[in-house]
A and B are shown apart, each in its own frame.
Chain A
Amino acid sequence: MSGLLARRPIPARPETAPRTYPPGWWGMAVAIATEAMLFAGLLSSYFFVRAISPAWPQGGIEGPHLDRTIAFTVVLLGSTVPMVIAERAARAGKMRRLRRALAATTLLGVAFVVNQGFEFAELSFRPGDNAYASLFVAITGLHGAHVVAGLLMLGVCQVKVWTGRVTAARHEIVRLVAMYWHFVDVVWVAVFTSLYVSVA
């Protein structure tokens, strides 16, 4: 087995191939569906416990601060834009634009994760204090983990782009990473609304 970064000849495919949903696309779509159910289950648990609690948050914990989180929400949701640009660039074969757009997406994602890290460190409670604390940490933590996974995927994708393994005809990986990244954004909308906005 030769090295991971070796260049290999890639057979051409007809440019007139119809735009379809190839197996990889379906695989990613179904995987996203199951991950979405994971978040749906956690958010349902959050609202279930909330419904039976006399006060929310529990234990006199202060609700989360919105300002900073709103700012980084804009950062994360904003990363949709370069991601869409990247997908279009890949389809059109514009490699330089693709590289820049992927880098921009990654940068915004990293900023979000770093801020999440700081927020975690500055929490006024520990996960075990009560159910609210446990749920808050679990939900935001699981989402953060998904963002990190997305950043890894973006990394792999960018290496493939930089080593010439992605062309206008073969750019399925960009499409798959974009799907996943949009999913992560949508989940954040749900998490942000449930854990931050609805408590303010």
Chain B
Amino acid sequence: MTDADVDRAAAAAIGAAAARAAVDDHALEASWHDRPGWLGFFTTVDHKRLGIRYIVTSFVFFFAAGAQALLMRTQLATAEADVVAPEAFNELFTMHGTTMIFLFNTPVLAGFANYLLPLHLGTRDLAFPRLNAFSYWVFLFSGLFLYAGYLIDAPPDAGWFAYVPLADRDYSPGVGLELWALAVVFVGISTTAGAINFIVTIFKLRAPGMTFNRMPLFAWSVLAMAVMVIFAVPAVTLSAALLAADRLFDTAFFHPGRGGSVLLYQHLFWFWGHPEVYILMLPAVGMASTIIGVFSRQRFVGYLWAAAAFVAIAFISFGVWIHHMFTTGVPDLAMAVFSAASLIIVIPSGVLYATWIATMINGRVELATPMLFMGGFLVILLLGGVTGAMVSVMPFDWQAHDSYFIVAHLHYVLNGGVVFPIFGALYYWWPKMTGRLFAARTAKLSFWTMFVGFNLTFFPMHVLGLLGMPRRVYTYREGLGWETLNTLATIGGFLFGAGALLTVAVLGQSRRRGEPAPANPWGADTLEWAAASPPPEYNFAAIPLVRSRHPLWDAAPLELAGDGEAAHGVDRTGALARATPVLSGMETEPEGELAIPRPSWRPVAVALAIAMVFVGLLIEAVVVGAAAAIAVLVGVVAWAWYTGDDLE
């Protein structure tokens, strides 16, 4: 089928549907409205409200983890300091890593995907809105569950990876590590549910004419990420669940004395652990690609290359996990294979850099705030990438592993490659989400503060690693030559934190007194900028007909089929206004419509019941756990009772 054929078929289907009955905007408004006040807060299934909620909650965890980091940096600024006791320090780096990976980076990107995906795809919500709400509540409850460790004076302290045997009951008594392990299993439910939602939405709910070839790059990155989640998260669920079992039920999975294997834990953990960093990187990079294209005033150069690179990264990332275990004594042949794969994965990253640079060079860059963050991202991720290639070379890794060189590397890729795009994305989509503009000059200052602060913190750590400073040490002796660099790193850390807080100040100010934002303040090309700022609950009164990769930039304007007022692709029989068209396959064939469930208590109730199951396991109370499990089953049955087939 040619493009013209696709357009004709889609237009015909839409026209037919519109002809059946007209809808008026009142019906649309009324059926999409959330319940007011607290009732609405707990029962909403609106992807935009949930997306923003994800982002806000994640940022609360971001600043908690940031505070933990600054406490550590204060302790490490000088040799043999007494600011933080060793036990407390070990809790700090455990909570910092766990929070940043599980409770900030992963959910904040899920939040952006939540908010943006339906708007990018020209549809009204995700495929499973109640599952979406459920994902958020599970995330919130799992984060609270983990942080309850501070309340019961048992925060976990065996590192964010919790290697056995240190994480076993023998060497880490108390509930802290059960808390950690159960929290990891708990939050994995949220991530997995989100991934299912994203995949099905991308497959089934794209607007008419939006073939895969025309889908925004962000959607491609989310698709690749979600598929990775499906295949990777079970591994960490297993490593954490088996650890919890060893601790709670005295099983022997990881006990060498009883036939178990210590290394098995590491294999399971890193089988997820490596794909996880690309699970974080891909959506961030997808957002970066979007923003770079917009502010270069240039159609993205190498769209297919970039999409292919996302897919390639998703695949190859499953074949490199042993590079986290180069010092454990795995056989040389295995190490060689994984070393080679770790080098090969640099190529799709190289492809992405080429597309970004070509897009900027072919265009003319406007240095708006979001674009500055993308510039920072490009530079920092590059340095992280080259150090990553360096540690793929086993002999060098034998010196660098578990030293501050790796701390530097991981922060360059995760902070530079993920956090900088997140901040840029926050500024970029802020007007759309809140309907307000922000003060650009202060915002740009926040970028420079963060950029300088970041490099001041983490660049010296490369040198510290080469000078022999191991990771996860609460202090170090004088005379090893590490003091000056550590002091610099601490100063940088506070600077970076100040920049992040400045962002909060800028956006807080904008919320209260910012100028109202037009629909498309940046002159961007994707569909969300066609809706108002902020968009109505139903996103689009009329589902758009998409003719290109850059719908808002192209000569053929967004088309509204029918008489210009009708929402189409929606079966109006019985006034089913609360629905979105299902179009799928390679040519976006229309398949009918998906009824969007009404706001519901069921997601938060089931999430709460699941939380009680985990609490029951934690405090080893069979009654609590069993009762909660039954509650989960009842809740799930009640939820699944009304599916899209039925009217509510």
Direct contact of A and B (CB under 8 A): yes
Which residues on A are within 8 Å of B, measured CB to CB? 4, 8, 10-11, 13, 17-18, 20-24, 26-27, 30-31, 33-35, 37-38, 40-42, 45, 48-49, 52-53, 58-59, 127-135, 137-138, 152, 156, 160, 165, 170, 172-173
The answer, among A26, A38, A58, for a CB contact under 8 Å with B234, is A38
Q: Judge whether B470 is part of the interface by a CB distance below 8 angstroms.
A: no
Measured between beta carbons, the chain B residues less than 8 angstroms from A30 are 195-196, 199-200, 230
A32 to chain B, nearest CB (A): 10
Interface residues of B in 200-233 (CB under 8 A from A): 200, 203-205, 230-231, 233
Q: Judge whether B49 is part of the interface by a CB distance below 8 angstroms.
A: no
Interface residues of B in 252-306 (CB under 8 A from A): 252-253, 255, 258-261, 264, 267-268, 271
What is the bound-complex CA distance between A13 and B643, given in angstroms? 16
Measured between beta carbons, the chain B residues less than 8 angstroms from A173 are 643, 645
The answer, among B200, B268, B592, for a CB contact under 8 Å with A41, is B268
Interchain CB contact under 8 A, A26 and B582: no
- Given known contacts A10-B646, A41-B238, A173-B643, A131 and B261 CB-to-CB distance under 8 angstroms: yes
25 interchain pairs, CB-CB under 8 A:
A10-B647, A20-B591, A22-B204, A23-B204, A26-B203, A27-B131, A31-B196, A34-B231, A37-B231, A37-B234, A38-B238, A41-B235, A41-B238, A45-B253, A45-B268, A48-B264, A49-B261, A59-B259, A128-B258, A131-B259, A131-B261, A133-B252, A134-B260, A138-B253, A156-B640
Measured between beta carbons, the chain B residues less than 8 angstroms from A132 are 259
Q: Judge whether B237 is part of the interface by a CB distance below 8 angstroms.
A: yes
The answer, among A18, A131, A160, for a CB contact under 8 Å with B255, is A131
Interchain CB contact under 8 A, B573 and A11: yes
Mark B614-648 against chain A: 1 for CB-CB distance below 8 A, else 0.
Answer: 00000000000000000001000110110111110
- Given known contacts A38-B238, A131-B260, A26 and B204 CB-to-CB distance under 8 angstroms: yes
A146 to chain B, nearest CB (A): 13
B570 to chain A, nearest CB (A): 13
What is the bound-complex CA distance between A13 and B647, given in angstroms? 14
Interchain CB contact under 8 A, B261 and A52: yes
Q: Judge whether B128 is part of the interface by a CB distance below 8 angstroms.
A: yes
What is the bound-complex CA distance between A100 and B279, given in angstroms? 46
What is the bound-complex CA distance between A23 and B205, given in angstroms? 9
Nearest B residue (CB) for A35: B234
Q: Among the listed stretches B7-15, B243-251, B452-460, which one makes contact with chain A, having 4 or more residues with CB under 8 Å of it?
A: B243-251
Q: Judge whether B127 is part of the interface by a CB distance below 8 angstroms.
A: yes
Q: Is the interface of A mostly helix, strand, loop or mixed?
A: helix
Measured between beta carbons, the chain A residues less than 8 angstroms from B37 are none
Nearest A residue (CB) for B253: A134
Measured between beta carbons, the chain B residues less than 8 angstroms from A21 are 584
What is the bound-complex CA distance between A127 and B644, given in angstroms? 43
Measured between beta carbons, the chain B residues less than 8 angstroms from A127 are 249, 251
Interface residues of B in 300-343 (CB under 8 A from A): none
Measured between beta carbons, the chain A residues less than 8 angstroms from B271 are 41
Interchain CB contact under 8 A, B261 and A42: no
A176 to chain B, nearest CB (A): 9
Q: Judge whether B532 is part of the interface by a CB distance below 8 angstroms.
A: no
- Given known contacts A59-B259, A130-B258, A134-B260, A152 and B196 CB-to-CB distance under 8 angstroms: no
Counting from the closest, the 10 A-B pairs by CB-CB distance are A134-B251, A131-B260, A37-B234, A131-B259, A130-B259, A128-B250, A58-B259, A38-B234, A26-B200, A23-B127
Measured between beta carbons, the chain B residues less than 8 angstroms from A45 are 238, 242, 253, 264, 268
Interchain CB contact under 8 A, A27 and B127: yes
Interchain CB contact under 8 A, A27 and B252: no
Interchain CB contact under 8 A, B251 and A138: yes
Interchain CB contact under 8 A, B192 and A34: yes
What is the bound-complex CA distance between A48 and B239, given in angstroms? 14
Nearest B residue (CB) for A42: B238
Q: Judge whether B574 is part of the interface by a CB distance below 8 angstroms.
A: yes
- Given known contacts A34-B233, A156-B637, A156-B641, A134 and B252 CB-to-CB distance under 8 angstroms: yes
Interchain CB contact under 8 A, A130 and B645: no
- Given known contacts A53-B259, A152-B633, A172-B643, A23 and B200 CB-to-CB distance under 8 angstroms: yes
Measured between beta carbons, the chain A residues less than 8 angstroms from B641 are 4, 156, 160
- Given known contacts A52-B261, A127-B251, A8 and B637 CB-to-CB distance under 8 angstroms: no
Measured between beta carbons, the chain B residues less than 8 angstroms from A18 are 591
Nearest A residue (CB) for B233: A34
Q: Beyond A23-B200, A38-B237, A134-B260: 8 further Cβ-contacts under 8 Å?
A: A26-B200, A27-B200, A41-B268, A45-B242, A49-B260, A129-B258, A134-B253, A138-B251
